[in-house]
């Protein structure tokens, strides 16, 4: 039976959900937080040790300032409200990406990472200002002086150092692409594209994915 140590998610479809329900993309982002909570609970319950959420990409800077600010504000409020509980539950928060937000948000993210650093029950990786190509450039620059570069050198220089590659990657929102997410780490990941928009994605959808995953014969090139 395949077990899942690391689940990665592209939480797509918030904007469309918000437009469909109240003509406001931002409402979709707010609603999407409920799904974040649900997935976190699911991972704790099912001993999924690492959960990586694609919350803001390097490409998302192209969105209007108003939407960006709404997202950053949502993140700030969420962390302020939940950090104590997250810490008590022994969950570690790690940011994947370079922190180049407001001084206040950067400080808060640093604080959340430091406060939860030693927690080992579960780890939530928030991919923020994250782009896989940017991450690879960052890694290559760290090791460029080496004569020969090994896979391990690259693994150990990525933002995801010490994090196992994801067994499962889910993208909601009925779009079938990786959008610059974990391109190196997802080399052998099982990918599940979900039609539902992120706020509509529920516990039973995760159950179905886990069930489908458990039945996959993962050969890694063998026969």
The DSSP 8-state label assigned to residue 215 in this structure reads T
Name the segment binding ligand FPP (CB under 6 A); options: 32-40, 129-137, 156-164, 202-210: 32-40
The DSSP 8-state label assigned to residue 159 in this structure reads T
CA 30 to chain centre: 17
131 lies in the binding site for ligand FPP (CB under 6 A)? no
36 lies in the binding site for ligand FPP (CB under 6 A)? yes
Considering only residues 20, 60, 87, 113, which one is a binding residue for ligand FPP as defined by CB under 6 A? 60
Residues whose CB is less than 8 angstroms from the CB of residue 220 and which lie 6 or more positions away in sequence, other chains included: 188
Residues whose CB is less than 8 angstroms from the CB of residue 37 and which lie 6 or more positions away in sequence, other chains included: none
Kindly tell me which of 131 and 173 has the beta carbon lying closer to ligand FPP: 173
Considering only residues 74, 105, 178, 183, which one is a binding residue for ligand FPP as defined by CB under 6 A? 74
Q: Is 26 a catalytic residue?
A: no
194 lies in the binding site for ligand FPP (CB under 6 A)? no
Strands 91-96 and 122-130: parallel
Contact between 90 and 121 under an 8 Å Cβ cutoff? The reply is yes
What are the residues binding ligand FPP (CB under 6 A)? 11-16, 29, 32-33, 36, 53, 55, 60, 71, 74-75, 78, 126, 173
Q: Which residues are identified as catalytic?
A: 12, 60
């Amino acid at each position: 039976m395949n077990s899942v140590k690391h689940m990665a998610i592209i939480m797509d479809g918030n904007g469309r959900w918000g437009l469909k329900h109240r003509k406001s993309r931002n409402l979709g982002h707010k609603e999407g937080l409920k799904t974040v909570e649900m997935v976190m609970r699911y991972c704790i319950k099912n001993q999924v040790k690492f959960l990586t959420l694609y919350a803001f990409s390097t490409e998302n800077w192209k969105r209007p300032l108003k939407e960006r600010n709404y997202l950053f504000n949502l993140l700030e409020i969420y962390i302020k409200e939940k950090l104590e509980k997250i810490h008590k539950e022994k969950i570690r928060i790690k940011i994947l990406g370079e922190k180049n937000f407001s001084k206040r948000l950067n400080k808060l993210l640093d604080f959340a990472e430091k406060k939860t650093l030693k927690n080992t029950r579960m780890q939530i990786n928030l991919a923020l200002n994250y782009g896989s190509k940017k991450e690879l450039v960052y890694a290559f620059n760290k090791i460029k002086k080496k004569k020969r570069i090994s896979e391990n050198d690259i693994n150990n220089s990525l933002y995801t150092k010490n994090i196992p590659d994801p067994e499962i990657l889910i993208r909601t929102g009925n779009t079938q692409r990786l959008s610059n997410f974990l391109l190196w780490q997802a080399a052998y990941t099982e990918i599940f594209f979900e039609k539902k928009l992120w706020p509509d994605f529920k516990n039973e959808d995760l159950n179905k994915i886990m069930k489908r995953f458990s039945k996959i014969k993962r050969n890694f090139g063998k026969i």
